């Protein structure tokens, strides 16, 4: 992008005056951030509009997702525009610091975990590869929650407010109305520019905000019924207030259902309006639009599309259903049964009764198809979209959608041959694999400037940023001592930067000389943060017994949020906090171990953790993690993977070699053999170190404050319950292998040259995990769309 420095300066000054009534010298960093955002928008809007006009001439893909975990926008946008250093200079001339302005931006609170971060990477890669791809999501005003960690280690949830949105454009002229049984709401679109790297293309992420048709009832207000006068307003705003509201009761479930319907109804109305304006004939919509359902959350888009076609556009049901079968594709992100959404028909009828009728009709048509194919009643019952008055959303997505994909090769194979095997036999042509990816612009260019500069120096150009496979050329330096030393020097400087950041935000001092062993991700039992914690307490016990044990210093860093209603996950966080207090305050171990649970893990924190990590902990129960993308970010930044043979870990070690990573534990086939035979008590009773670690939950080593949370964790491992067997995720079965793998880490880390070689080989082989590669595969194999590039 070319721009005039003086124009940018004048724009910042103007927006400070007209938006805030202040001069630049008196403006806060948040005000400067928003003024700068508007100044940049002013420059890029012509190209944004030109991109839209270009895409109108060909088929588009629409990516509907409940989450878009974008992270801060300013720095990434400046890098993609190629003007980061220039804007830094402009601000310096105005006596401002770009880093301070960047830090004034909050993370957009629009997602929680890998699902949302993947969607964000796809949006950026779609723009950079010049694909006609548009995202649709919800503009949550408060996100999921802001996480705090109490002194006793427990998670506390606070409202998450993001004050700044420097690039979001409100477009009231494109608002639509979403109809529920008992009230309607306005869906107001906010457009966010998704700026390509190395191209003029600017794609769009459209986020919907729910607002009332009437802000408040004047008659009620005038009658002094003040709370009642804004009741309808609050009901409308609640829809886009919080990501994944607690749904432990009916009201919570209804709110989640409202959110999902609000998202898909607004998005489909928008697509249909656009198609009618450009092409007219709605029968041709499948020729111009592919709609990707990111997990089961947006699956109501299928019956909503049919409702809009039949009730509003006069199309016949059969024709609408036939068109839906050409347009919708479904990405499965999990094999966990509790995550494959199911909705009570009673709730659907209560909220959106017409959609309930359409789902029943779709199901009837599908059952008739199966009867014609000769399927028995028992077989049909298994496939039915509605079972026991419950709608199985994955069944709906697979039955109607034309493509179903997993997100790593192992995950896709498990879907085809185990979890969705009956569906695979019915529709083998629908099933595909699309291994996840990450954008190198965010996860190397922006977050690891030191390593980015050195890679460009070694390769002689920056072409690798758009073609990550070119990193393979780094392998020629695997025996170059100077290069290896420089790689480790960069890692050490990144560790120092993280140490300073953690000191500032957590008030804790870490040692950059220690191994940084990091496990950051959403809290879930299958991700096995508890297994990691058991290893740490065992290592602590062994150090107490033998203070001279020859191990490198090691810092274990955890991060991630547990859903407010997920009691056991919250108990695991508290347990980690308790052992952190125990270990960090014990001077007898000479600082050899330190444990930290970082608060409010998010994209901004990840951008500091990934470049500093030595060891990437990816230890889910084999077969349970669909893919992971954190593992890819760590790999790209030169960390070795310590993990199970699960998700994309499989492809990571295939690319970089098991000898350059640390793979341990049961594999999928081992777990299949253990099914129905596994007895966790055998491990507990046979191995004293396992018993001692597990018993730390209940023997007074640490305390849950009398809540019974730790007893429940102990019971989950050794007693089980009426609905699950003991140790469902095989922590005790994998404990010994975990311990042996950590010993290998300690040995490897002592050989500095060999460790540096492992890091370099991981970086060099991270190319296949670019989300550019993934999104181009979606475009070719699922969406049938082609790149369209603005002329330079």
For residues 194 and 319, what is the distance between their CA atoms, to the nearest angstrom? 35
Q: Among the options 241, 491, 528, 633, which is catalytic? A: 633
Q: Which residues contact 126 (CB under 8 A, 6 or more apart)?
A: 61, 63, 133, 194, 203, 775
3-state secondary structure of 140: coil
Cα-flanking dihedrals φ and ψ of residue 176, to 5°?
-130, 170
Sign of CA dihedral 634, 636, 638, 643: positive
Q: CA-CA distances (angstroms) from residue 400 to 63, 322, 326, 329, 760? A: 17, 9, 9, 9, 45
Please tell me whether residue 403 adopts helix, strand or coil conformation: strand
Strand-pairing partners, residue 342, are: 392
Catalytic residue among 296, 435, 629, 774: 629
Q: Out of 117, 241, 416, 527, which one is annotated catalytic? A: 527
Separation of alpha carbons 607 and 117, rounded Å: 12
Handedness of CA 546, 550, 552, 558 (dihedral sign): negative
At 44, list the tokens: 């890029």
Tokens representing 112 are 């929680």
> Residue 685's closest CA among 657, 717, 723?
717
Q: Is 14 among the residues known to form the active site? A: no
Asked whether the beta carbons of 110 and 207 are under 8 A apart, the reply is yes
- Write b or e for each residue in 515-533: b if 16 or more Cβ atoms lie within 10 A of its Cβ, otherwise e: bbbbbbbbbbbbbbbbbbb
Put residue 528 in one of left, alpha, beta given phi > 0 → left and psi -120 to 50 → alpha: left
- Which runs of consecutive H residues, i.e. helices, occur in 188-282? 218-222, 226-229, 231-238, 250-278
Measured CA to CA, the distance from residue 641 to residue 741 in angstroms comes to 11
Known catalytic membership, residue 629? yes
* Residue linked to tokens 């508290």: 574
Strands of the sheet containing 390-392, edge to edge, are 342-344, 390-392, 386-387
Three-class DSSP labels, 33-86: HHHHHHHHHHHHHHHHHHHHHHHCCCCEEEEECCCCCCCCCHHHHHHHHCCHHH
Task: Assess whether 59 carries a catalytic annotation.
Answer: no
117 catalytic? Reply is: no
Given a contact cutoff of 8 angstroms between Cβ atoms, the answer to whether 37 and 11 are in contact is: no
Active-site residue among 522, 561, 594, 739?
A: 522
> Is residue 299 flagged as an active site residue?
no
State the catalytic residue, choosing from 241, 307, 333, 392: 333
Q: Are 273 and 43 in contact (CB under 8 A)?
A: no
Cβ atoms 120, 68 nearer than 8 A: yes
Q: 307, 521, 602, 739: which one is catalytic?
A: 521
Residue carrying the six token digits 């509790």: 338
Q: Is 527 a catalytic residue?
A: yes
From CA 264, how far away is CA 303, in angstroms rounded?
10
- Residue positions annotated with a catalytic role: 333, 521-522, 527, 629, 633
């Amino acid at each position: 992008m070319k721009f005039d420095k003086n124009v940018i300066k004048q724009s910042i000054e103007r927006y400070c005056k007209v938006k805030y009534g202040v001069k630049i010298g008196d403006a806060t960093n948040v005000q400067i951030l928003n003024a700068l955002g508007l100044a940049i928008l002013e420059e890029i809007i012509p190209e944004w509009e030109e991109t839209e006009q270009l895409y109108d001439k060909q088929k588009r893909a629409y990516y509907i997702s409940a989450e878009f975990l974008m992270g801060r926008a300013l720095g990434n946008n400046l890098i993609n525009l190629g003007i980061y250093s220039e804007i830094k200079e402009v601000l310096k001339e105005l006596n401002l610091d770009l880093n301070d302005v960047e830090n004034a931006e909050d993370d957009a609170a629009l997602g929680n975990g890998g699902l949302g971060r993947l969607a964000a990477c796809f949006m950026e890669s779609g723009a950079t590869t010049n694909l006609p791809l548009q995202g649709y999501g919800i503009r949550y005003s408060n996100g999921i929650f802001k996480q705090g960690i109490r002194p006793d280690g427990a998670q506390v949830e606070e409202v998450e407010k993001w004050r700044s949105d420097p690039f979001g454009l409100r477009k009231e002229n494109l608002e639509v109305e979403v109809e529920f049984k008992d009230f309607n709401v306005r869906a107001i679109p906010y457009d966010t520019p998704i700026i390509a790297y190395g191209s003029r293309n600017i794609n769009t992420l459209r986020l919907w905000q729910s607002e009332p048709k009437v802000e408040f009832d004047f008659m009620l207000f005038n009658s002094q019924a003040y709370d009642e006068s804004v009741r309808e307003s609050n009901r409308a705003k609640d829809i886009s207030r919080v990501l994944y509201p607690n749904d432990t009761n009916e009201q919570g479930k209804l709110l989640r259902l409202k959110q999902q319907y609000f998202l898909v109804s607004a998005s489909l109305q928008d697509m249909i309006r656009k198609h009618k304006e450009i092409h007219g004939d709605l029968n041709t919509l499948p020729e111009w639009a592919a709609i990707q359902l990111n997990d089961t959350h947006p699956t109501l888009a299928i019956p909503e599309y049919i409702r809009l076609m039949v009730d509003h556009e006069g199309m016949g049901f059969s024709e609408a259903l036939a068109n839906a079968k050409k347009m919708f594709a479904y990405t499965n992100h999990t094999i966990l049964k509790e995550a494959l959404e199911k909705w009570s028909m009673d709730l659907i009828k209560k909220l959106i009764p017409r959609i309930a009728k359409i789902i029943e009709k779709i199901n009837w048509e599908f059952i008739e198809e199966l009867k014609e194919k000769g399927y028995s009643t028992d077989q049909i019952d298994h496939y039915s979209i509605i079972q026991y008055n419950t709608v199985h959303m994955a069944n709906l997505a697979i039955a109607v959608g034309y493509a179903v994909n997993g997100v790593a090769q192992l995950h896709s194979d498990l879907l085809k041959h185990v979890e969705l095997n009956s569906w695979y036999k019915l529709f083998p042509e629908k099933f595909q694999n699309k291994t996840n990816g990450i954008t190198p612009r965010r996860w190397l260019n922006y977050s690891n400037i030191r390593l980015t500069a050195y890679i460009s120096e070694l390769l002689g150009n920056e072409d690798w940023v758009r073609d990550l496979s070119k990193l393979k050329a780094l392998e020629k330096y695997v025996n170059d001592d100077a290069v290896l030393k420089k790689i480790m020097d960069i890692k050490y400087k990144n560790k120092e930067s993280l140490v300073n950041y953690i000191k500032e935000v957590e008030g804790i001092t870490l040692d950059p000389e220690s191994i940084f062993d990091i496990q950051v991700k959403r809290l879930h039992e299958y991700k096995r943060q508890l297994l990691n914690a058991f290893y740490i307490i065992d290592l602590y016990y062994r150090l107490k017994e033998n203070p001279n044990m020859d191990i490198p210093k090691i810092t274990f860093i955890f991060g991630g949020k547990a859903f407010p209603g997920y009691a056991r996950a919250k108990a695991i966080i508290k347990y980690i906090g308790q052992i952190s207090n125990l270990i960090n305050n014990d001077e007898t171990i000479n600082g050899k171990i330190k444990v930290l649970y970082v608060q409010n893990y998010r994209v901004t924190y990840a951008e500091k953790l990934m470049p500093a990590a030595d060891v990437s902990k990816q230890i889910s129960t084999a077969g349970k993690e669909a893919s992971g993308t954190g593992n890819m970010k760590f790999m790209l930044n030169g960390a070795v993977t310590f993990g199970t043979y699960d998700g994309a870990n499989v492809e990571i070690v295939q690319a970089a070699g098991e000898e350059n990573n640390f793979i341990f534990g049961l594999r999928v086939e081992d777990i299949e053999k253990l099914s129905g035979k596994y007895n966790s008590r055998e491990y507990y009773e046979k191995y004293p170190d396992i018993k001692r670690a597990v018993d730390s939950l209940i023997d007074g080593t640490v305390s849950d404050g009398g809540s019974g949370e730790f007893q429940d964790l102990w019971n989950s491992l050794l007693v089980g319950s009426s609905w699950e067997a003991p140790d469902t995720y095989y922590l005790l079965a994998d404990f010994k292998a975990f311990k042996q793998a950590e010993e290998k880490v300690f040995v490897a880390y002592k050989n500095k040259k060999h460790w540096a070689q492992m890091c370099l080989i991981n970086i060099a082989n991270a190319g296949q995990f670019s989300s550019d590669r993934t999104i181009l595969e979606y475009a070719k194999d699922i969406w049938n769309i082609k790149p369209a590039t603005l002329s330079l």
